[in-house]
Structure 1
Amino acid sequence: MAAPTSTRDRALDAAHAAILELGTERTTMVEVARRSGVGRTTLYRHWPDITALFADLLTRELTAAVTRVGPGLADPTLLRDADEIAEQLCGIADQIRTDPLLDAMRRHEAGLLAEYLLRRLGASQHALVAMLTGVLAHSPDPRLAGRDPGTVATMLYLAVQGAVLSAPLADPPLDPVTWRAELHRLIRGYLIP
């Protein structure tokens, strides 16, 4: 028997479906309430507005992508060398680059994405940087020694984020296979200068 879905998850699932079907402009709190069966008052207890709900949804989806592709990244004590780290980061980047929700937000909700690209790091970004910091701090790879894991993790995150969000601008000339190979080269080159 499946675990019951929380009110919050039902609302986020409904918002996800609405964005893919209607776009962000037509996805409102009223639409999310209708699709999820959650009252508007309850929605407003969780999120002050639709932008906050979108941000929470994006955090959930990014975290899920990391868990699907690199579940081991959540455990920094697993032994990883620079090549394994680069491979897992490329897998996560590929998963996020092709995510339909991110594509819809990239096309229709540039203002929300700009907030997290140009002004501040959000909860999911901080979590990913912290996760990378832990992985780098515990890596037995001697080629990674002598560098501050937090600094390296932050720069890696910013580089990968930029590559993911800008991927549509590079196609062409970079097809998806070439994009991933070049991203791998970029990450590995930064990890092992």
Structure 2
Amino acid sequence: MRWSGEEAVLDAAKASLLAVGVRRTTLTGVARRAGVSRMTLYRRWPDLRSLVGDVMTREWTMMVTAATDLMPPDRSDADLDDLVDRIIATVEAFQTNPVYLRIIKTDPELLLPYLTERRGATQQMIVDLLTGQLGAAARHGTVRAVDPAALAVMVLLVVQSFVLSARALAGPVPAATLAAELRRLLRGYLTPDTADTPAAPPASAARPLQDAAP
């Protein structure tokens, strides 16, 4: 259950993180910014890591939700181009998000457990969201008809790597070019294989045998 003052504390923690970084942020300082007592804060967050984790979860969730809301009202989750557009929009939002950029610059080790040890709350939300969307698209024939959860995990692995490493590995390649290549990669991966679509019989095979030319 959410505590009524939780948003104010998360706002204060975010402001401190952006101003001085994670290492110089303290629960005492956050309590002062939020206008609550330290004991009130400690009852909800036993340490700074748990508080910063909730800041990240809120921030990432808002970005994913905002990208999902980009879907035109007259289109459905079955449209592959819309799905890819939303994935790209989420990637671009991460790459420009001030909280993400601050963490990557000053405390990237905070993200390591979610890359090597466990699935975080936002990662789980993304997998669940993609699984539903990809499943709907597969039923409409616009995405490969395989386990949608497997597709969702693979898409997350690809875009997560892109978000974390594109800036470091891009070199002279423009960001717009990389985004275009990511779009091509995702569409190529998700588009149904030609072999999955029953081929029409050749014209000659469609005619009765007795009608074929001698």
Segments ≥4 residues shifted beyond 6 Å: none
Equivalent residue number for residue 111 of structure 1: 109
* In the alignment, structure 1 residue 66 sits paired with structure 2 residue 64: yes
Equivalent residue number for residue 174 of structure 2: 175
Q: Which amino acid aligns with 2:25?
A: T
> Contact between 1:97 and 1:167, CA under 8 Å: does it hold in 2?
no
Q: Secondary structure at the match of 2:115?
A: helix
Structure 1, unmatched stretches of 5+, are none
Larger fraction in helix: 1
Equivalent residue number for residue 143 of structure 2: 144
Higher relative contact order (CA 8 A, sep 6+): 1
State percent identity of aligned pairs: 39
Q: Which amino acid aligns with 1:137?
A: G
Larger Rg: 2
Equivalent residue number for residue 50 of structure 1: 48
> Contact between 2:144 and 2:190, CA under 8 Å: does it hold in 1?
no
* In the alignment, structure 1 residue 12 sits paired with structure 2 residue 10: yes
Residues 139-186 of structure 1, C-alpha deviations (whole Å, 9 max, x = no match): 254142421000000110111111011122034323221221122112
> Contact between 2:70 and 2:86, CA under 8 Å: does it hold in 1?
no
Q: CA deviation at 1:30?
A: 1.1
Q: Distance in 2 between matches of 1:168 and 1:137?
A: 32
Equivalent residue number for residue 124 of structure 1: 122
Q: Distance in 1 between matches of 2:144 and 2:171?
A: 37
Q: Secondary structure at the match of 2:122?
A: helix
Q: Give the count of matched residue pairs.
A: 187
Equivalent residue number for residue 207 of structure 2: none
Q: 1:174 to 1:41 in 2, by over 3 A?
A: farther
Q: 1:174 to 1:45 in 2, by over 3 A?
A: farther
Residues 72-116 of structure 1, C-alpha deviations (whole Å, 9 max, x = no match): 67xxx9333222111110011101111110011112222220010
> Contact between 2:18 and 2:98, CA under 8 Å: does it hold in 1?
yes
Structure 2, unmatched stretches of 5+, are 194-214
Q: Distance in 2 between matches of 1:121 and 1:87?
A: 24
